[in-house]
Amino acid sequence: MSTPTLFLFLILALIAEILGTVGGFGSSLFFVPIAGYFLDFHAVLGITGLFHVFSNLTKIGFFRKGFDKQLTIKIGIPAVLFVVLGAYLSKFFDSKILEIALAIFLISLSLIFLIIKDLKVNPTTTNSIGGGVISGLLAGILGTGGAIRGITLTAFSLPKEAFIATSAVIDLGIDISRSVVYISNGYVQVKDLYLIPLLLLVSILGIYLGKKILVHISDLQFKLIVLLLILLTGLITLGKLLF
């Protein structure tokens, strides 16, 4: 990347990290479609996996108090198992098809929650495991499953910091697992590795700023902002691919 392009990429990655921290579901929901403008989609998957390993370690450091061990096991184990399957299956799909699927997923998810404002998942063990399976599979194939995991965790009415910490611990297991598969698939290329230390700095700054913002924004206000941004991201991604 040229210097101006790299600067733009890092600024957008920072915004994605801030939004993902405040929203509680990680930055990949925004980072994957954003990075798709700068890198090949399979390269995006590889970079996202490694980036998120460092990002979640940082997040656990900032929000380490009070993560829910039982939910981490119920959601995390099936998520880790199915992210490996999803990451393996990703190599059998054309990258353009995966990007279209990601765009449709983002648009559909945001519209569902904007239209059905009181939509919730019941806090049961079955739904915990199901949420882990779906979020892991989507994270492996499309690079992002944090929204599904966030929806599942919301059902258990965790305090804000416990919610973020629990999500980050689960996400760490997901990202380590899928990164191993992405590397074996050849998604992580030597020419892109210079981005990793830069993205590590971005994640630290983004998480720090996100934690500061959390104090001043109500859950209801930010939920609306995040859903609108997810919808916009999906529409822009789909528009880029179609036109």
Q: What is the mean pLDDT of residues 136-142?
A: 84
What pLDDT is attached to residue 185?
A: 85
CA–CA dist 105, 157 (Å, integer) = 25
Report pLDDT digits (tens) over 125-138.
Answer: 888 898 889 888 88
Averaged over 141-151, what is the pLDDT? 75
For residues 226 and 85, the answer to whether their CB atoms sit within 8 Å is: no
**Sequence-ordered alpha helix ranges (H) in 155-218:** 160-185, 195-214
State both tokens at 19.
């939004």
Q: Which amino acid is at 228?
A: L
Report d(CA 75, CA 174) in Å as an integer: 11
- pLDDT tens-digit series, residues 179-188: 888 888 888 8
% the chain with pLDDT above 70: 93
Q: What is the pLDDT of residue 24?
A: 67
The pLDDT score that the predictor gives to residue 110 is 81
| Dihedral sign (CA 72, 78, 82, 84) | positive
Residue 10 CB neighbours (<10 A): 17
- Report CA 91 to chain centroid distance, whole Å: 20
pLDDT band at residue 78 using 50, 70 and 90 as cut-offs: very high
Asked if 135 contacts 149 with a C-beta cutoff of 8 angstroms, the reply is: yes
User: Quick one: CA dihedral 159, 162, 168, 173, positive or negative?
Assistant: negative
pLDDT in tens, 186-238: 888 888 888 888 988 988 898 889 888 878 877 677 767 777 877 887 787 78
Over residues 46-70, the mean pLDDT reads 80
For residues 52 and 182, give the distance between their C-alpha atoms in angstroms, rounded to a whole number: 13
Nearest Cα neighbor of 62 from 218, 204, 239 is 204
Domain locations in the chain? 3-242
How far apart (Å, rounded) are the C-alpha atoms in residues 177 and 240?
A: 30
Say how far apart CA 48 and CA 154 lie, in whole Å.
24
> How many whole angstroms separate alpha carbon 9 and alpha carbon 44?
12
Q: What is the pTM of this model?
A: 0.74
Residue 72 has pLDDT above 70, yes or no: yes
pLDDT in tens, 155-184: 777 777 787 788 888 888 888 888 888 888
Question: What is the pLDDT, as a whole number, of residue 10?
Answer: 92
Integer Cα distance of 22 and 236 in angstroms: 22
| Contacts of 18 by beta carbon, 8 Å cutoff, 6+ apart | 206, 209, 210, 213
Q: Where are the alpha helices (DSSP H) in the chain?
A: 3-23, 28-35, 41-62, 69-89, 95-115, 125-142, 146-154, 160-185, 195-214, 219-242
Single-letter amino acid, residue 220: L
